[in-house]
Structure 1
Amino acid sequence: MRSNILAFALGVGLLQLQEALPAWPLLTVWPLVALPLLWPACRRSRWGRVLALLASALFGFSWAALLAAQRLHDRLPAAWEGRDIQVVGVVAALPHGFERGERFAFDVESVETRAAVVPRRIMLSWYHGWLEDEWRDGLQIRPGERWRFTVRLKRPHGNANPLAFDYEAWLFERGLRATGYVRPQAAVERLDDFVVQPAYAIERLRDRLRRSFAAVLGDAAYSGILIALAVGDQQAIPGEQWRLFRQTGVTHLMSISGLHVTMVAALFGALVGCLWRRSERLLLAVPAQKAAIAGGWLAAFAYALLAGFAVPAQRTVYMLTVVALALWSGRHLGASRSLLLALLLVLLLDPWAVLAPGFWLSFAAVALLFFVGTARLGSGRGWRATLAAWGATQWAVTIGTLPLLLLLFQQFSLVSPLANAIAIPLVSFIITPLALLFVVLPWPPLLLVAHALLDFLMSGLDWLAAWPMWEQPAPPLAATLLAVVGVIWLLLPRGFPARWLGLCLLLPAVFWPAARPAHGEAWVEVLDVGQGLAVVVRTAGHSLLYDTGPLFSAESDAGQRIIVPHLRAQGVRRLDTLIVTHRDKDHSGGVVAVEEALPIGRRLSSVPELQPEPCIDGQSWEWDGVRFAILHPVAADYQRQAARSNNMSCVLQVSSAHGSVLLTADIEARDEQALLARGAGRLRSDVLLVPHHGSGTSSTPPFIAAVGAREAIIPVGYRNRFQHPRADVVDRHAASRLWRTDRDGAVRVSLVAAGLSVSAYRNEYRRYWHGQ
């Protein structure tokens, strides 16, 4: 059974790597072929067992494909993107506030615009902005309300960069098949205060509890953490606190995770068992042990619902369900069977769970706890044995999840064992129970005590966060699998010979070197940051960042969300030069996050407030056989007031023996004419970053002809409000092969000895849900 479940999981995972789904006839035939091979009589011979494993994998592949095809069928037609559509539906989940608005899932009940087709569940943003007074006076939304909106939608789309978060996969897993916003000028109407459905009732309860927490705590520094621990609203935690949690390795504790659900089940089960034993009649009806199992499971299920039934909580409930059924029936399935049955249940209900890092980390952590716990059975009693078991558990989880953390996040906290040793008992056994007790018994001192304990904990974490984190490039899959073997070897029971060999197997993943171009070569990566610009240039021993992407909100920018994680994944620990071309927020929005995360050797910019060295035509330098030259602006431009900040954009040319790239930021027609007047010959380049995102104010024919690029890259956001790139500008670049970050994702230019080449991330990493 165990090998068949693993084969089924392998088939499910294989489906998620496909660029396109198999045809419908194959999806219906394959399960019919696979099912007979799973019959017990077919597994008696060696070849029969092999066929059964192949059938299990085929069944998992087909099952995941059938569910995926069903979800893909519910889509927004391309013809209805960006058009006004009037819909009636229900606010399906807890709204999350952001600067000047709210975002929420919306279940569409009917479409009132003739011929329009809209998916059943969508994600909407409502920007109230200047409607502050009206918003407070009655336009606030609550879960379970029925509304009539006029909306504009687009298909799910996210930034596509190597080793980055796949937003489209996140939306697809949650069944959110379109995103959009409520039209601000159109009339909105609340049709019903509450639509009676169990799911909406739970969301309304979560909303009421969130409001009650906010009423007691007000603007307290850590109120968002308590709200997240009670009702699963992680959006309530500020970004600065998330950064602190990542640096100390306690992120898993600050949301409703498997640990918290298990803790609630254990505490409530123990309470039910204790009270049950006090009644002879109840004991005769149902044994106390079974009552405790049922009570613990019900408590876990209720807590998961209160948390919004998020994916980590779902996985824990499924796992507890398997264990509870086994214990209730009196059958001992064993740790491995229980874990694998939970895995089977998760993948049957949610085959896209394998796309989430939390899926791998949670199952790995539980498997490690089972592995270490089994090895230490009968190791003794008393406080010394308890302390030793606790230390072994901390060691196992820390070292055991290391390969996954390096593969998925390229970092881990060196102080994580110490931080978790303090935080786990405090958060799991005191702070979280106090927050949940307030849910049942709304007595304000409970929250005040919990907040005081959080204040104490955060002070300790703030001190631990000063310690450095281990950061490195993402190791390849082979090194990660070797490290997993090393972890298992290292955690074998004491007395097993040569356990130290496990550390040797870990070394390739932990010390995997960063890939760099050879001397005289350069890699130029135009990142997909939406409507903005960020370009990373790497040579054999140096790194340069050209612009820092857009500012998304008061707490989010491209620097922290895209650029810094990308640099960390590529092994860039220092920027030799940072160029911020001009003042516009779509180019300078992430500068603070970049400066806080990395040491920077030299700063060039046309923005005086950044206190840089001004970029001036004539500046040049050479790194590792690659030449860099600033071509614009000239020194005189700083003495007169430019009509637009775009006219001060720093233009950089990167050239080597293998080709050249011209980076133009947001220069406009007058700047192109000035560049031509100062010397058209020096503009000649093989690759051109199209000026100003393909705006009609740039890309004049003489400038394009002078550059003569055979490759042209347009950094542009998907369906942006500026309607970039303009169709006539695209036509002007007809002589070049055209790349667009909204369509192709991150674009990489390789100036290497084998010849100049250009590749796009979406072409190399295409999945069946992309663009759907």
Structure 2
Amino acid sequence: MKRPLIFLFLALVAGILTSYLLQTRYNHIKQTYLLLVFIFLIITACLTNRYKGVIACLLFFMLGIIFGGNALKRGSRLIPYTRYHEQIVLEGIVLEPPYVNKKIARLRCRIRGVFTRNGHNPVNEDIILTIYRYNLMLESGDRIRFLCKLKEIKNFCNPGAFDYRAFMKRKGIACKAYVKDGRYVVFMGKQDLPFPYNITEALRSPIRNFFKKELQPNSFGIFSAIILGERKNLDNSTKEMINRAGLGHILAVSGLHIGLVAWLSFIFIKWLMLRSYRLGLAFDVKKLSAICTIVPVIGYCLISGFRIPTQRAMIMILVFLFSVILEKQDDIPSSLCLAGLIILSIFPLSIFSASFQLSFVAVAGIIWLMPYIKGYILGFIIPTHDQLPKGIMSKFLFYFLDLISVSISALIVLLPLILYYFHRIPLLSIPANVSTIPILGLWVLPTGLFSISLLPVSYKLATLFLKISNFGMEQMLSIIRLWASMPCSSIWFFQPNILEIGLYYGLLFLITKRNHRIARLGILAICLIILLDTIFWVNRIKFNKDLRITFLDVGRGGCALIEFPMGKKMLIDGGGSSPNFNEARMVIAPFLWYSRILKIDYILLLHPEGRHMNRLSFIARIFGAKKLRELNANINGVTISGSNNKDIPLEIGYKGISIIFVKDLQGYKQAYKGKVHDPENSVLVFLPCGIGNIRYNENTRNKPKICIVLGSKGKKLDLLFSCLKRSGCKVYSTYKNGAIRMEIKERDEIKVKEMRGICHEGI
């Protein structure tokens, strides 16, 4: 079998994905069965020489199922305490310095014990602790005891939503805790940090203080991100500017940064060793340089926090260094797959992580596409070898040619994943990368790391090199600001589905093999499928004949998307229940991109407070939405009418069916007063603002078929549910059921569907 590591890696990935598909039905019987099959395959592989490749793939497939199943089964001992109605007392260790903003502190804490009426229960899990009215000076290693309310990490249950629960689970966070006042936090003394925080904080604490003392706040945030791996100190405007230019990867310590450190260290160590004639004759300088490069690579990973993405990138770089030591550096695909095998064996759930997928696919794409692109560009610029420049000009030419080829290859191969996770096409990513990565890799990062290495020796020299690095960073930011200021720097786009991503990569593969007749037929077939897919979605979005209303889960607030017949769209409200979270940007917009909606025609606010409109400014700017001026309107056969009755702020009518927005059960009664509406042909939508006014009369005869409750939670929601169910109608809640889609067909048929999205157990 040629390059067996590729097939073994694919088998392991298939096993982990299979374990995910089986997670809801995974039990002890299946575990025992899989273990027996695994033992049988090992014995078979030892006794026979035939089909060893197939058996090895089956072994790794079974290993993937076992690794993935064990990772998915890991529970939390803190989750049961989130169901307590009263507050509980926890004790733990502060792992990282808190991030404080407007007297609200957020920090990571390792919980060691839970104190309840039944006694003390030891645990060993991490949580995110939020302290309001923060007036303390907590540091890493502080042991604290606090009275808090534990909350389970939950997702917004909409299709296309970010799987926040899975993201936090992969980071090792069990749940969240909230302390109402800093006075409820008691300092219990100092305690040794657990591994690896004891090493990382010992290294990072003096560096963090050095940066904070010598740098301005904006520069401190960027240096904290690229050297310490802490992005919490970056302001949102700087992050948006960098993301707009397609350079968001420079803010996350990953394969790019660790690869630059490894490359610079290898070149410097090799150059230093070659200064000694005797050393060059006695040893293989290339192998010795690769061995010595391991030290700065691991050191940089520790300084940057040694988080899971950093560990994955470190494993990948170390595998490539060992391939140089073992003289296998030419077989880069096998080295990449070996790194993937090691990473997924240690962190099986990394296969679902965007950072792992982007890093791994980027490297694979560069290996695959770079020779084609480099050859094409070189042939276009220099048709014949006689025209190649000589000397140092040749080195500069090939350096920038490699940089351009790498940027183009990475962008081409990552485009569907970038759209899937970030919904953005960075149109100027290639020139932005070509103009900024050399400054980062040859100026900012090496001088910044050299400055902190001088910190124990000479503070003045360390400050001098930090200022040199900071000057380079300012030049880099000026270039980024130039690219980001251009109106065409990036565009927002819809989220592709799995089929479309597969078609894209299939088309890309066949284009590289276009000289074969079968490949050309495959290209035509894929183009035909893409054309049919485009026609389907255009017809569904622009020429739909039904009225579709989707009620989104935006927490305690309410939001509804109305898709009128023949394509027009209107958004009603936008959540706004949390002062520190923008539902429009983080919840509503991803659903619109998932639904292939790039244009919103109208915005209607039933709560026209300033904070609601401010939150929807993102929707208005990106989707071109305008505020609906007249509440009484007819849009493509759908009537929208307001009401002077404060209990019924909005009514929508279509094909004899009424959708009535009410504030509470008083509005429920008002809706059918005087037989204005037919209960059999109406839908009641309860807004979240007035659920507290719950009054119900058992003798009410008007019973609508469907009631939909937006937002809210707790005892009031349960009481409202019981009242509505006693009336005999079908009740849905965005808080309990997630997003709800209602379709009114041309034949006056109402169809209601739950669109729960990612409400399942996080991975």
TM-score scaled by structure 1? Answer: 0.84
Give the 3 Å change call, closer, same or farther, for CA 582–633 of structure 1 in structure 2. Answer: farther
Give the 3 Å change call, closer, same or farther, for CA 724–213 of structure 1 in structure 2. Answer: farther
| Structure-2 separation of matches of 1:18 and 1:479 | 25
| Other-structure match for 1:86 | 89
| Structure-2 separation of matches of 1:431 and 1:550 | 40
Percent identity, aligned pairs only, is: 20
| Other-structure match for 2:575 | 549
| Structure-1 separation of matches of 2:672 and 2:57 | 67
| Structure-2 separation of matches of 1:127 and 1:190 | 14
1:112 paired residue among 107, 110, 115: 115
Say if 2:639 is the partner of 1:628: yes
| Other-structure match for 2:481 | 462
1:423-453 deviation line (CA, Å, top 9, x unaligned)? 2212233222233233223534444444444
Give the 3 Å change call, closer, same or farther, for CA 79–154 of structure 1 in structure 2. Answer: closer
- Residue pair 1:109, 1:120 contacting (<8 A) in 2 also: yes
2:158 aligned counterpart, secondary structure: coil
| Other-structure match for 2:226 | 229
- Residue pair 2:219, 2:470 contacting (<8 A) in 1 also: yes
Say if 2:27 is the partner of 1:23: yes
After superposition, residues 497-536 of structure 1 pair within 5 angstroms as 512=534, 513=537, 515-516=540-541, 519-536=544-561
1:401 aligned counterpart, secondary structure: helix
Amino acid across the alignment from 2:256? L
Say if 2:448 is the partner of 1:435: yes
- Residue pair 2:227, 2:449 contacting (<8 A) in 1 also: yes
| Other-structure match for 2:17 | 13
The Cα shift of 1:581 comes to: 1.0
| Structure-2 separation of matches of 1:276 and 1:475 | 51
Unmatched tracts of structure 1, length 5 or more: 605-612, 635-646
| Other-structure match for 1:739 | 732
After superposition, residues 382-401 of structure 1 pair within 5 angstroms as 382-401=395-414
2:268 paired residue among 267, 271, 280: 271
- Residue pair 1:228, 1:234 contacting (<8 A) in 2 also: yes
Say if 2:694 is the partner of 1:681: no
- Residue pair 1:695, 1:729 contacting (<8 A) in 2 also: yes
1:435 aligned counterpart, secondary structure: helix
1:389-444 deviation line (CA, Å, top 9, x unaligned)? 33322221111212222333333111111111112212233222233233223534
The Cα shift of 1:41 comes to: 5.2
Amino acid across the alignment from 2:319? V
Amino acid across the alignment from 1:191? M
| Other-structure match for 1:367 | 364
- Residue pair 1:435, 1:447 contacting (<8 A) in 2 also: yes
| Other-structure match for 2:333 | 336
192-201 or 558-567, which deviates more: 192-201
| Structure-2 separation of matches of 1:496 and 1:295 | 50
1:236 aligned counterpart, secondary structure: coil
152-161 or 190-199, which deviates more: 190-199
- Residue pair 2:111, 2:123 contacting (<8 A) in 1 also: yes
| Structure-2 separation of matches of 1:96 and 1:736 | 48
1:507-540 deviation line (CA, Å, top 9, x unaligned)? 9769944542864312222212111112111133
1:89-109 deviation line (CA, Å, top 9, x unaligned)? 111234333443122221112
1:558-580 deviation line (CA, Å, top 9, x unaligned)? 11111122222322222211011
1:152 paired residue among 149, 152, 156: 149
177-186 or 293-302, which deviates more: 177-186
- Residue pair 1:546, 1:581 contacting (<8 A) in 2 also: yes
| Structure-1 separation of matches of 2:437 and 2:700 | 60
Say if 2:592 is the partner of 1:572: no
2:240 aligned counterpart, secondary structure: helix
- Residue pair 1:83, 1:153 contacting (<8 A) in 2 also: no
Amino acid across the alignment from 1:460? I
Give the 3 Å change call, closer, same or farther, for CA 455–704 of structure 1 in structure 2. Answer: farther
- Residue pair 1:549, 1:589 contacting (<8 A) in 2 also: no
- Residue pair 1:410, 1:568 contacting (<8 A) in 2 also: yes
Give the 3 Å change call, closer, same or farther, for CA 5–725 of structure 1 in structure 2. Answer: same
- Residue pair 1:716, 1:742 contacting (<8 A) in 2 also: yes
| Structure-2 separation of matches of 1:242 and 1:445 | 27
2:691 paired residue among 687, 691, 695: 695
327-336 or 506-515, which deviates more: 506-515
1:191-212 deviation line (CA, Å, top 9, x unaligned)? 2234254423313543443333
- Residue pair 2:551, 2:741 contacting (<8 A) in 1 also: yes
- Residue pair 2:556, 2:688 contacting (<8 A) in 1 also: no
- Residue pair 1:18, 1:767 contacting (<8 A) in 2 also: no
376-385 or 522-531, which deviates more: 376-385
Give the 3 Å change call, closer, same or farther, for CA 452–277 of structure 1 in structure 2. Answer: closer
Give the 3 Å change call, closer, same or farther, for CA 60–453 of structure 1 in structure 2. Answer: same
| Structure-2 separation of matches of 1:521 and 1:498 | 41
Aligned length in residues: 724
375-384 or 479-488, which deviates more: 375-384
| Structure-2 separation of matches of 1:405 and 1:507 | 24
| Other-structure match for 2:186 | 189
2:743 paired residue among 740, 750, 771: 750
Say if 2:493 is the partner of 1:477: no
| Other-structure match for 1:100 | 103
1:231 aligned counterpart, secondary structure: coil
RMSD: 3.6
| Other-structure match for 2:618 | 593
The Cα shift of 1:225 comes to: 1.7
1:296 aligned counterpart, secondary structure: helix
Amino acid across the alignment from 2:352? L
The Cα shift of 1:347 comes to: 0.8
Give the 3 Å change call, closer, same or farther, for CA 377–579 of structure 1 in structure 2. Answer: closer
Say if 2:137 is the partner of 1:140: yes
Give the 3 Å change call, closer, same or farther, for CA 242–347 of structure 1 in structure 2. Answer: same
| Structure-1 separation of matches of 2:23 and 2:33 | 21
586-595 or 574-583, which deviates more: 586-595
| Other-structure match for 2:209 | 211
1:365-399 deviation line (CA, Å, top 9, x unaligned)? 10112224566899886444444333322221111
The Cα shift of 1:153 comes to: 0.6
1:646-666 deviation line (CA, Å, top 9, x unaligned)? x59842425346x553334xx
Give the 3 Å change call, closer, same or farther, for CA 231–280 of structure 1 in structure 2. Answer: same
Give the 3 Å change call, closer, same or farther, for CA 120–714 of structure 1 in structure 2. Answer: farther
Give the 3 Å change call, closer, same or farther, for CA 397–519 of structure 1 in structure 2. Answer: closer
| Other-structure match for 1:730 | 721
| Structure-2 separation of matches of 1:687 and 1:350 | 48
The Cα shift of 1:694 comes to: 6.9
Give the 3 Å change call, closer, same or farther, for CA 500–140 of structure 1 in structure 2. Answer: farther
| Structure-1 separation of matches of 2:245 and 2:47 | 52
Unmatched tracts of structure 2, length 5 or more: 379-384, 386-393, 456-461
470-479 or 260-269, which deviates more: 470-479
Give the 3 Å change call, closer, same or farther, for CA 285–767 of structure 1 in structure 2. Answer: farther
- Residue pair 1:661, 1:687 contacting (<8 A) in 2 also: yes
2:705 paired residue among 710, 722, 729: 710
TM-score scaled by structure 2? Answer: 0.85
1:599-619 deviation line (CA, Å, top 9, x unaligned)? 124x13xxxxxxxx364xxx1
The Cα shift of 1:543 comes to: 0.7
- Residue pair 2:95, 2:193 contacting (<8 A) in 1 also: no
| Other-structure match for 1:582 | 607
